[in-house]
């Protein structure tokens, strides 16, 4: 039996981050991964989706750039090539992580691992003794009775990444990040797209004004959607909704979230990443790993949420519906007020800041570069920097960032 300082089951963002940083401290580390290094994020989630999303946005923009004096004719779409590029991107990034693990002298075991106890891991009939064990075995698409994946008509978020051709029409069930992003992708490619959401508004975890703006954007993009609606029954290729309507899409994407993979909980083992059942985001998992291995704290309440596409959607902290009327100040700046937005032909969206006692407590942004804009606000929030102090910062012009600066003066 070989001895290690740290044993890690799962090679996703939580697992490989913990492995690399533990190794940097001189620890002897073994990492077990039964499928692919990089986990869901790299192989079945964030990275492949954004690769396809980028291609879809290019395709849409090329078709709609006459206002910029550019006219393109006979544009062709090679969807298998888009999937090929997606796969190449995954492989390139995966090899980068594998090389980093190798250089850090992390022992990587490509096999299914079993927890025997808080200090013993078994794989391929070999036992590994570890002073400490981290379990980061991830999550899987949520299964719902009546909407079981058949991988041909009823698709999971894993299935849709590997379609070799685009459908003529698609129904997306659920309007979280996965549902919104795939609705944008399919719409950009000219697929007739419909979204069904059980909650009163699309993107129900977002601030109410963000949700309403997304609904407006979907209407302008001719993405049909139903709210406060569920799928009552699947009858062959007919989808019967709770409102009595029947839809006949070519494909159905069931995008109603993910659930932690089942594991046997053992006292003394640390569970991080999606399997921990907390916030299912790669950056949250990475921060959990850093906290566990290097004792670097982070404020969980300031974990950013981002939905990609044009425009990006990003938020952090309190939503307006979370706050009692009269206890906060609100600032809202339309992105169309920014010169850079007009130059880029990206005028859709707004920056919304919420403050209490002179400090920002929530930020909600729909804009090009929203994910980057949000980080500026998070740094101020986490370091307890007041809105007045933030006004002293010089923001470059013309940028989207100066929208944050302008919004500060409206608090």
Catalytic positions, written as ranges: 397
CA–CA distances in Å: residue 51 to residues 45, 179, 186 = 10, 16, 13
- For 248-368, strand residue ranges (E) read 251-254, 258-260, 270-271, 305-307, 312-317, 329-334, 350-356, 359-367
CB within 8 Å of 277: residues ≥ 6 apart: 260
Q: Residue 359, SS3?
A: strand
Q: Where is 13: in which H helix or E strand? A: helix 13-24
* Helix ranges restricted to H, 149-223: 177-188, 208-220
CA–CA distances in Å: residue 159 to residues 155, 241, 361 = 5, 23, 38
Separation CA 130–CA 153 (nearest Å): 45
CA–CA distances in Å: residue 285 to residues 14, 108, 205, 339, 387 = 5, 20, 19, 37, 30
Contact 181, 309 (CB under 8 A): yes
Phi/psi at 254 (nearest 5 deg)? -90, 105
- Residue 48, sorted as left (phi over 0), alpha (psi -120 to 50) or beta, turns out to be alpha
Separation CA 201–CA 214 (nearest Å): 9
- For 255-307, strand residue ranges (E) read 258-260, 270-271, 305-307
Contact 304, 283 (CB under 8 A): yes
Phi/psi at 340 (nearest 5 deg)? -60, -35
Contact 349, 408 (CB under 8 A): no
């Amino acid at each position: 039996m070989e001895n290690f300082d740290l044993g890690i089951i799962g090679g996703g963002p939580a697992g490989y981050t913990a492995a690399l940083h533990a190794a940097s401290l001189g620890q002897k580390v073994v990492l077990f991964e039964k499928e692919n290094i990089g986990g869901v994020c790299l192989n079945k989630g964030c990275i492949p989706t954004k690769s396809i999303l980028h291609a879809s946005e290019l395709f849409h923009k090329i078709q709609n750039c006459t206002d910029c004096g550019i006219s393109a004719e006979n544009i062709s779409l090679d969807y298998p090539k888009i999937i090929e590029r997606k796969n190449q991107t995954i492989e390139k990034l995966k090899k980068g992580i594998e090389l980093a693990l190798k250089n850090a002298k992390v022992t990587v075991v490509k096999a299914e691992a079993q927890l025997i106890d808080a200090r013993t891991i078994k794989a391929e009939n070999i036992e590994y003794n570890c002073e400490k064990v981290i379990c980061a075995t991830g999550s899987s698409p949520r299964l719902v009775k009546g909407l079981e994946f058949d991988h041909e008509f009823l698709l999971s978020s894993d299935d849709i990444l590997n379609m070799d051709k685009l459908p003529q029409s698609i129904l997306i069930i659920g309007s979280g990040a996965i549902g919104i992003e795939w609705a944008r992708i399919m719409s950009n490619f000219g697929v007739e797209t419909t979204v069904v959401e059980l909650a009163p508004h699309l993107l129900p975890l977002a601030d109410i004004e963000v949700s309403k703006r997304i609904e407006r954007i979907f209407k302008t993009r001719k993405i049909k959607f139903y709210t406060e609606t569920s799928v009552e029954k699947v009858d062959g290729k007919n989808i019967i909704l709770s409102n009595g309507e029947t839809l006949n899409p070519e494909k159905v994407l069931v995008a109603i979230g993910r659930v932690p993979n089942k594991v046997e909980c053992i006292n003394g083992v640390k569970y991080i990443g999606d399997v921990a059942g907390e916030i299912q985001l790669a950056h949250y998992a990475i921060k959990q790993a850093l906290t566990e291995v290097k004792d670097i704290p982070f404020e969980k309440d300031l974990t950013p949420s981002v939905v990609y596409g044009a425009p990006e959607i990003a938020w952090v902290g309190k939503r307006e519906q979370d706050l009692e009327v009269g206890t906060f100040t609100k600032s809202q700046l339309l992105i169309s007020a920014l010169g850079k937005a007009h130059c880029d032909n990206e005028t859709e969206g707004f920056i919304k800041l919420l403050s209490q006692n002179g400090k920002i407590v929530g930020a909600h942004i729909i804009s090009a570069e929203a994910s980057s804009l949000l980080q500026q606000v998070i740094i101020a929030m986490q370091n307890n920097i007041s809105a007045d102090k933030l006004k002293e910062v010089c923001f470059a012009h013309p940028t989207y960032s100066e929208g944050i600066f302008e919004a500060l003066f409206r608090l």
